[in-house]
């Protein structure tokens, strides 16, 4: 098990969640066939080892971006396992899709990983580099198949399979002067960090498989 994931999983074992009936929503989206909430298990690259079992807490959300383009969506685990909240640009269709590029510089940042240092800067244009796991991600292979899975209650439901590559490296932050209206004390000059850039270390690459099924919204189908 890789080091980033181990830490998150140790935290998860102490948490418990309860399920409930939920109202289903229907909305206008050009990524509707991708979009939804999915229960999942997490495996290594060739699915010979399982890292995460089904549970109510382990849910991945896929939803459209503000542009509402058909092959562009967010994938978000709400900081439960990876954590990950990344925008993906894909080729193909829901039954067979992958990222348009696997090149680090072409990918968007994982917003869950871009966290400025807790220690505040003391001046303007200071810089700091922070070793950061899972700064960007690419979908190597994805499939969402109609009614190819079965819920715990025996109902047919859409299956999901996503092989995802996670890229890590260093994130650079640069200090800026906080606007007077946003300072703790308006009369005291204050500085904060903002994202500057990210560099890639291929030796830190990790690949996982997300495998599961769509959430139906009915309690009897929940984990």
User: For 80-109, what is each residue's pLDDT tens digit?
Assistant: 999 999 999 999 999 999 999 999 999 999
CATH of the domain at 59: 2.40.128.220
Residue 175 tokens read as 């200090």
| Within-domain flag for 54 | yes
For the question of whether the overall pTM of this predicted structure is more than 0.75, the answer is: yes
Paired with 73 in beta bridges are 64, 88
Query: Which pairs with CB-CB distance under 8 Å and at least 24 residues apart come from 44-49?
Result: 44/207, 44/208, 44/209, 45/163, 45/207, 45/208, 45/209, 47/209, 47/211, 49/1
Phi, psi of 12 (to 5 degrees): -65, -30
Residue 150 lies in a domain: yes
| 21 assigned to some structural domain | no
Per the structure, the complete domain to which residue 102 belongs is given by 3-9+29-215
Q: 143 in a domain, yes or no?
A: yes
Residue 162 lies in a domain: yes
Give per-residue pLDDT as tens, 44-54: 999 999 999 99
- Kindly tell me the burial class for residue 26, based on how many C-beta atoms sit within 10 Å of its own C-beta (0-12, 13-18, 19 or more): exposed
In a domain, 76, yes or no: yes
Task: Say if 139 falls within a structural domain.
Answer: yes
Rounded mean pLDDT, 193-213 = 98
Does the structure show a pLDDT above 80 at 23? Answer: no
H runs (alpha helix) in 21-161: none
Position 22 in a domain: no
Residues 199-208: tens digit of each pLDDT = 999 999 999 9
pLDDT digits (tens, 9 = 90+) for 127-146: 999 999 999 999 999 999 99
Domain count, the chain: 1
Residue 28: predicted pLDDT: 72
Distance CA 161, CA 164 (A): 10
d(Cα 85, Cα 116) in Å, to the nearest integer?
16
């Amino acid at each position: 098990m890789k080091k980033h994931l181990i830490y998150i999983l140790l935290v998860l074992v102490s948490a418990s969640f309860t399920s409930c009936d939920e109202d289903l929503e229907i909305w206008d989206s050009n990524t509707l066939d991708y979009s939804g909430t999915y229960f999942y298990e997490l495996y290594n690259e060739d699915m010979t080892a399982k890292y995460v079992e089904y549970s109510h807490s382990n849910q991945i959300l896929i939803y459209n971006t503000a542009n509402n383009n058909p092959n562009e969506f967010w994938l978000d685990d709400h900081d439960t396992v990876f954590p990950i909240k990344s925008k993906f640009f894909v080729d193909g269709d829901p039954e067979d899709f992958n990222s348009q590029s696997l090149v680090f510089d072409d990918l968007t940042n994982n917003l869950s990983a871009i966290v400025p240092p807790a220690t505040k800067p003391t001046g303007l244009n200071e810089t700091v580099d922070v070793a950061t796991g899972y700064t960007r991600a690419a979908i190597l292979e994805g499939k969402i198949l109609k009614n190819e899975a079965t819920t715990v209650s025996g109902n047919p439901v859409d299956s999901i399979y996503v092989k995802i590559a996670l890229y890590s490296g260093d994130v650079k932050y640069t200090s800026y002067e906080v606007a007077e209206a946003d300072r703790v004390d308006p009369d005291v000059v204050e500085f904060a960090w903002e994202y500057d850039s990210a560099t890639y270390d291929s030796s830190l690459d990790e690949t996982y498989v997300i495998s599961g099924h769509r959430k139906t919204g009915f309690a009897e189908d929940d984990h």
